[in-house]
A and B are shown apart, each in its own frame.
Chain A
Amino acid sequence: MGKKGLYCFIAGSVLLSGCGGSSSSSTETVVDEPTELTIPFKAMVGSDPMTCGQTFTGLGTNSASVEFEDFRMFISNVRLVTDQGEEIPFNLDPDAPGQNSQVALLDFRDTATVNETGDTTDVCISGTDDNPGFKDTLVGSAELDPEKTISHFEFTIGVPFEQNHADQSSAEEPLRNPGLASGMTWNWQNGYKFMAADVIPVGGITRPDDAEWSSTAWNLHLGSTGCEVGTSDLADGVAPEPCAADNRVEVSLPLGGFEQGAYAIKIDYAALISGSNLNQDGGGAPGCMSFAGDPECPAVFKNLALPFGEEQNDGGNPNAVVFSIVERQAL
């Protein structure tokens, strides 16, 4: 670990005066090699760690009880932001498992069954082995300058546009299907699920206006929608057409005094679905499929600070409730 000068990356007003504010605190001002860093993420349900095979209670507007079926997300465009607003890229290590230089697939499903031939089966049920695809840490490096104070950690939930619409069967991991991206593809929209948070609510899911209807899984699938091809699939060298709604979540978190290496990113499922009734569906696919007009989406998109329909949902960075900086050791 190239930790030289790492002690200087302490944010917070108390320490700021002693670090980076003047050149006297450091004899090195030239950054010659990137600092290797790991950024752990922690999936939580309120104050409890998210695990497979366990029932979590008291969720959403009707205090639902659920078990997890899937909890994964693609992270890209990771950067550290200085107190001067400068963005320092966090370069993902392409050789680390579950990530390439552009995108990482966080997979919070902690268990799986591995059969006698080594195949992974039945991911995320209770009483089984570790899921070989489990990943909760970004591995990479950043060109940290002891003169600069990092104040924010920022990232995008989503697959960058160019990779999102490329062929999946030949894609570089973790975007390959079949492969690490199995179950995270969203082929009818020609792309990937940026986030899949699928739960099985106790008591199932019903529709108030349709007694014949029932379902078992309340799914949150975040992804770009309204992606129509045009000339790009006909003519070489033409950039793919943009999607009507790209639905990539920008997350910006103030470090609030934590130094590099001392914090983790908490993702709170309970906060994510705080405005949702997980035992009920109002139409369309059960849960929120990012789809314009999906009645379950407004509450979730609001918590992600994502525009949905007429709602801009941009007031005051509400996604900082779903995502927060916590102390690494505390988890």
Chain B
Amino acid sequence: MRKRHLRAGIRRPVIGVALLIMLTGCLEQSQTTVDDQGARVSGFDWGLPDHIPLPREPEDNPMTEAKFQLGRHLFYDSRLSSNGTISCSSCHHQDKAFSDGLAQASGATGERHPRNSQALVNVAWNNTLTWANPSLGTIEKQIMIPLFGDAPIEHGLNEGNHEQVLRSLQVEPEYARLFAEAFPDQSDALFSDQAWDNVVKALASFVRGLVSFDSDFDRGELSAEALRGERLFNSERLECFHCHAGYNFTDATTDRLTSFNTLLFHNTGLYNIDGLGAYPEPNTGRHEVTGNASHMGQFRAPSLRNVALTAPYNHDGSVDTLEDVIRNYAAGGRLEVASPHPGDGRMNPYKDGFIVSFSITESEIQDLVAFLESLTDQAFISNPRFSNPWPDSANKDLTP
């Protein structure tokens, strides 16, 4: 087959082949003696601990510091919306690990999003994007949805306003420099017909660069409580670690050493509105995209890094606290007696096999929460590299 050009092919060094061959004799894939050089080559300083493999970088959008910096300016720029009211940072606040503290947020026109704004933490390692979309394999494709989507309207960019919105960026003196630096091979990166593509690639680069591996957990500085919580987390009684697996605490993780991209989504028994397993529309999860009945209520396991900062929880923000999330799992799902969506999620026929009920004491819940809190990365939420770069101005979103 002809090699794809426009599609985000992934930079994969030749060691992929070597690893594949080795895998047949070594399915564990834990330690290999393969020369790691290719897997660690990037034009970008990822600042990762040694044991974290580099994430994938799209062949047509390799990471650079200049694109990251341009993307950072765009991320915090509310001119990137139909009426100047919404920037990416409106729903993704650095102090909340780039979530927003709301159950559901509203877009530029006031339309409410049916799902909870996700945290943006180590997104570069996700093998799919958003809560449950198996068709989105790159951040570049995902970004088109908040910018240009019409159901729901988020930034509200469309056929009728995109030229005007682009002009509002073109008059910003900072962008002349930032676009030129980010796309040095282009003669006029801000005014050419590649300008929007450049916006998308830069935004994706910034989001891809939001890296968090500097928590108490990473430094091995766990309190006695958190250590007890870690043991619970990794116990066969609670089963947390199956879905929230690995260094990024989600089984939806890929990196440059990954050879097989298995898409994993899970129904955790939150709803069962018809007794047959249905989740309330439109939040039917992976099913919303595939139409496959067995995908009902399946969502991607979010990373638990910085999870203590990202309340409320679950895809629709319907669970207020981590304690309640744990209690739902302990019950083997959620029994909803009140409207609007009553039903016994515990009996959801599509529930993941690891959502088994377990007994847990209140003090064990607190231990587990202490462990989850140890995944909070204070450096991440205060890192000036990720903060709003704009000086005070009416035009630019300063939230928060």
A-B contact count (CB 8 A): 154
> In terms of DSSP, what is the predominant structure of the interface of chain A?
loop
Query: Contact at B290–A237, with CB atoms within 8 Å?
Result: no
Point out the residue from B3, B136, B254, B288 that lies within 8 Å of A190, measured CB to CB. B136
Convert A280-306 into 0s and 1s, putting 1 for each residue whose CB lies closer than 8 angstroms to a CB of B: 000111000001110000000000000
Q: A156 to B366, alpha carbons, bound, how many Å?
A: 60
Known: A187-B149, A229-B128, A231-B260. Is A167-B291 also a contact (CB below 8 A)?
Answer: no
Contact in complex: A232, B137 (CB < 8 Å): yes
Q: State the CA gap A187–B254 with chains docked (Å).
A: 22
Bits for B242-268, please: 1 = Cβ < 8 Å to A, else 0: 000000000000100011111100000
Chain A residues within 8 Å of B161, by CB: 119, 121
**A236 part of interface (Cβ distance < 8 Å):** yes
Q: Which residue of A lies closest to B140 (CB)?
A: A167
Hey, which chain A residues are within 8 Å of B151, CB to CB? 285
Contacts of A228 in B (CB 8 A): 134-135, 263, 289-290
Interface of B is mostly: loop
Cβ < 8 Å to A, chain B residues 331-387: none
- In the complex, chain A residues whose CB is within 8 Å of the CB of B260: 231, 234
Q: Is the CB of B1 within 8 A of A291?
A: no
Task: Let me know if A170 and B197 touch, CB within 8 A.
Answer: yes
A179 to B162, CA, bound (A): 8
| B56 at interface by CB-CB < 8 Å | yes
Interface size, chain B (Cβ < 8 Å): 60
A169 touches B254 (CB 8 A): no
Known: A185-B144, A188-B135, A228-B263. A237 touches B291 (CB 8 A): no
State A1–B172 Cα separation when bound (angstroms): 49
Chain B, residues 126-168, CB within 8 Å of chain A (1/0): the string is: 0110000111111011001100111100000111111110010
Q: Does B4 contact A (CB under 8 A)?
A: yes
Residues of A within 8 A of B11 (CB): 236
A168 to B289, CA, bound (A): 19
Q: Is the CB of A188 within 8 A of B289?
A: yes
Query: Which residues of the other chain, A, contact B200 by a CB distance below 8 angstroms?
Result: 169
Complex-state Cα separation, A162 to B167, whole angstroms = 32
Residues of A contacting B194 in the complex (Cβ-Cβ under 8 angstroms): 170
| Smallest CB separation, A295 vs chain B (Å) | 12
Question: Quick check: is B393 within 8 A (CB to CB) of the other chain?
Answer: no
Give the chain B neighbours of A185 by CB distance below 8 A.
Answer: 144, 148
Taking a contact as CB atoms closer than 8 A, the residue among A166, A233, A293 that contacts B261 in the complex is A233
Q: Is the CB of A236 within 8 A of B3?
A: yes
What is the size, in residues, of chain A's interface with B at 8 Å between Cβ atoms? Answer: 50
Asked if B196 is at the interface (CB within 8 A of a chain A CB), the reply is yes
Map CB proximity to A onto B62-73 as digits: 1 under 8 Å, 0 otherwise: 000000000000
Contact B164 A119 (CB under 8 A): yes
Q: Which residues of A contact B96 (CB under 8 A)?
A: none
Please name all residues of chain B whose beta carbon is closer than 8 Å to the beta carbon of A292 when the two chains form the complex: 291-292
How does the 8 Å CB contact mask read for B5-46 relative to A, with 1 for contact and 0 for none?
A: 111111110001000000000000000000000000000000
Spell out B's residues near A (CB within 8 Å).
Answer: 1, 3-12, 16, 56, 59-60, 127-128, 133-138, 140-141, 144-145, 148-151, 157-164, 167, 194, 196-197, 199-201, 254, 258-263, 281-282, 288-292
Q: Give 8 nearest A-B pairs by CB, closest first.
A: A233-B137, A292-B291, A166-B6, A178-B162, A182-B159, A190-B135, A229-B137, A234-B261
A contacts, CB < 8 Å to B: 115, 117-123, 162-163, 165-171, 177-179, 182-183, 185, 187-190, 225-237, 239-240, 244-245, 283-285, 291-293
Q: A118-B163, A123-B159, A236-B12 are in contact. List 8 more A-B contacts (CB 8 A).
A: A121-B160, A178-B158, A183-B150, A188-B288, A229-B136, A236-B59, A237-B4, A244-B291
Some 6 contacts from A to B, beta carbons below 8 A apart, are: A167-B8, A228-B135, A234-B258, A235-B261, A236-B3, A239-B1
